[in-house]
């Protein structure tokens, strides 16, 4: 018989509905009968005791809210009867110890990657085009059109084929070849545009320079073509300094062109096409070779979360994160607004006290800017989150933090800083899916695991994004965007550890180029820098 309720942590005083429940249902749970008082959809929470006004609500073993009014045992938790509340943090409160998982079966495993001269290993081989300022976005788009048509020979999408057929009245002349044949078989060419580089405040341009430098330094990038206007805030020297700060010994081709120095657009683009083509042709000579799993740098992301995300998909990522840490690989946990309420645990897990202090300083500064803008971390859950059972930020955060597993925190990074230490790293980013994913790849992630309970097509121009659904229904409804699903955990058919083994095997196949992610097949190349400052 399928379980109807689950309690995530032994100290929890709420349970998650695994199936839809009706008012009047009697559910046997932990040796007692619980009378369900309200219609409750799967993924939502049921009170396991009567809460008086102000009573603490515990889930995942941490404080996730308090009662706005009396909530009877067996009743549904809602945004009306529960408000956000989280524990105060006072710095390190206990000594942390960790027992790594047994990874003997993985120690000799390898993936086929692109070995770079600095010791990093890419899971992709990408030539990247990007501007230093939004004024060059149009020229990037022109280059994108030229290179995709001539180098990638991309087949027309089905909507283009439909329109072609309509234009030709459905005649035979519309039935032209739609095969996709790349000129180069060992390199992808990708293009990034953005709204930054000038205006706003100088700190925004400096932050963007660090992000773009991180993309160039990412092991998935073979080289880059960079367009500059000339008069913008994000000067070429600013970008070069950011690149030098990340990797002073970078030995990749980086072609930089400045329009105001080169004259006409035609003159500049003609030069860009010729020089970039030659560099791409050389970069195509790179070959995949075996690399240890310690060379994997995996970003951990969640977006479009539901009430099952913190029970199935996110804990599976946490188990994978722990395996990577035990193998001397790297995992990156970001989305700082979604760590609200679990700060104490993360501070206690920091190897160095200075990192715990840095984490709290970043969290407090971030929250202050949000409060000063008239909002707060408690406004983080989206309408979709709330509809599927994540009714407070602390509740959402407690589930989101499960992506980081249980290993020690080896380093804490601010936005724009690059990963240098293996193990679990904390990276300050927004909770926004694309801004966070963009930042993790800029910090060096060569693969990203992205959990979702509601569905999101997010991808990235240089790193494979593996989409993980928290439930089987989503995977069946949106198979075009989901790579792997964890619904078997909800049904009790697989343990978290078994699911993590499956996921690591999948990561190896993706990192080796044996499997293309759904986001890559959809040509989903999302890139959104985080603008911290206020535009002037």
Q: Decide which of 1.10.10, 3.30.310, 2.60.40, 3.40.50 is the CATH code for 126-285.
A: 3.40.50
β strands within 436-510, DSSP E:
447-452, 465-469, 484-485
Report the candidate in 331, 311, 307, 313 with the shortest Cα–Cα distance to residue 321. Answer: 331
Contact assessment for residue 65 and residue 394, using Cβ atoms and an 8 Å cutoff: yes
CB atoms within 10 A of CB 372: 9
| Alpha-carbon span 294 to 328, nearest angstrom | 5
Cβ contact 254:125 at 8 Å: no
Would the pLDDT of 534 be above 80?
no
Summary mean pLDDT of the chain: 91
* DSSP-H helix ranges across 132-201: 137-147, 158-167
Give per-residue pLDDT as tens, 264-279: 999 999 999 999 999 9
Instruction: Write phi, then psi, for 426 (nearest 5 degrees).
Output: -100, 130
All structural domains of the chain with their residue ranges: 5-83, 126-285, 294-521
Q: Tens digits of per-residue pLDDT, 387-445?
A: 766 777 788 888 889 999 999 999 999 999 999 999 999 999 999 999 999 999 999 99
| Tens of pLDDT, residues 186-212 | 999 999 999 999 987 888 999 999 999
C-alpha dihedral sign at 311, 314, 317, 318: negative
Return the sign of the alpha-carbon dihedral for residues 508, 306, 530, 354: negative
- Helices and strands: H and E segment counts in the chain: 16, 22
Is the pLDDT at 331 greater than 90? The verdict is: yes
- Range from 56-60, 291-295, 303-307, 369-373 carrying the lowest mean pLDDT: 369-373
Report residue 87's pLDDT band, with 50, 70 and 90 as the boundaries.
confident
Residue 512 has pLDDT above 90, yes or no: yes
Q: 50 and 77 in contact (C-beta within 8 Å)?
A: no
E-assigned strand segments in 414-506? 423-427, 447-452, 465-469, 484-485
Phi, psi of 409, rounded to the nearest 5 degrees: -85, 115
The pTM assigned to this predicted structure is 0.90
Fold of 5-83: 2.30.130
pLDDT of amino acid 268: 95
| Residue 173 predicted with pLDDT over 50 | no
Using 50, 70 and 90 to split pLDDT, how confident is the model at 175?
very low
Give the CA dihedral 371, 374, 380, 381, nearest 10 degrees.
150
Residue 282 in this model has a pLDDT that exceeds 90: yes
């Amino acid at each position: 018989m399928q379980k109807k309720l689950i309690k995530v942590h032994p100290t929890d005083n709420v349970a998650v509905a695994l199936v839809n429940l009706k008012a009047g249902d009697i559910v046997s749970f932990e040796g007692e009968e619980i009378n369900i008082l309200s219609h409750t959809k799967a993924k939502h929470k049921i009170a396991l005791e009567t809460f008086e006004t102000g009573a603490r609500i515990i889930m995942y073993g941490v404080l996730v809210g308090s009662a706005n009014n009396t909530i009877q045992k067996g009743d549904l938790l809602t945004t009306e009867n529960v408000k956000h509340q989280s524990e105060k943090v006072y710095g390190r409160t206990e000594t942390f110890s960790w027992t790594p998982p047994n990874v003997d079966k993985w120690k000799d495993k390898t993936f086929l990657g692109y070995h770079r001269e600095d010791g990093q290993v890419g899971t992709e081989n990408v030539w990247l085009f990007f501007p230093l300022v939004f004024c060059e976005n149009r020229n990037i788009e022109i280059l994108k059109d030229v290179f995709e048509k001539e180098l990638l020979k991309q087949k027309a999408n089905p909507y283009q084929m439909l329109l072609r057929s309509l234009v030709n009245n459905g005649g035979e002349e519309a039935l032209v070849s739609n095969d996709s044949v790349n000129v180069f078989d060992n390199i992808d060419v990708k293009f990034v545009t953005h709204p930054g580089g000038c205006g706003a405040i100088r700190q925004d341009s400096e932050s963007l320079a660090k992000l773009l430098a991180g993309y160039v330094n990412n092991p998935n990038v073979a080289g880059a073509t960079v367009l500059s206007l000339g008069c913008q805030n994000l000067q070429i020297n600013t970008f070069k300094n950011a690149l030098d700060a990340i990797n002073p010994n970078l030995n990749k081709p980086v072609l930089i062109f400045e329009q105001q120095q080169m004259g006409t657009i035609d003159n500049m683009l003609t030069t860009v096409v010729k020089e970039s083509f030659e560099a791409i042709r050389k970069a195509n000579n790179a070959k995949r070779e075996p690399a240890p799993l310690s060379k994997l740098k995996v970003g951990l992301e969640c977006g479009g979360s539901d009430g099952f995300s913190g029970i199935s998909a996110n804990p599976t990522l946490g188990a994978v994160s722990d395996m990577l840490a035990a193998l001397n690989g790297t995992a990156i946990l970001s989305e700082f607004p979604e760590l609200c309420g679990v700060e104490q645990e993360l501070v206690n897990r920091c190897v160095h006290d200075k990192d715990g202090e840095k984490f709290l300083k970043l969290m407090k500064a971030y929250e202050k800017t949000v409060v000063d803008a008239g909002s707060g971390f408690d406004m983080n859950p989206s309408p979709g989150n709330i509809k599927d059972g994540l009714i407070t930020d602390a509740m959402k955060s407690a589930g989101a933090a499960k992506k980081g597993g249980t290993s020690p925190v080896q380093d804490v990074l601010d936005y724009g800083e690059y990963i240098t230490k293996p193990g679990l790293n904390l990276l300050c980013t927004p909770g926004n899916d694309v801004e966070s994913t963009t930042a993790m790849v800029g910090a060096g992630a060569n693969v990203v695991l992205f959990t979702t309970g509601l569905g999101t097509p997010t991808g990235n121009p240089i790193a494979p994004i593996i989409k993980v659904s928290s439930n089987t229904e989503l995977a069946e409804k949106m198979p075009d965007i989901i790579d792997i699903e964890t619904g078997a955990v909800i049904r009790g058919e697989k343990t978290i550890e078994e699911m993590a083994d499956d996921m690591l095997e999948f990561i190896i196949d993706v990192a080796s180029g044996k499997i293309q992610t759904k986001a890559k097949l959809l040509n989903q190349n999302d890139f959104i820098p985080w603008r911290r400052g206020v535009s002037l």
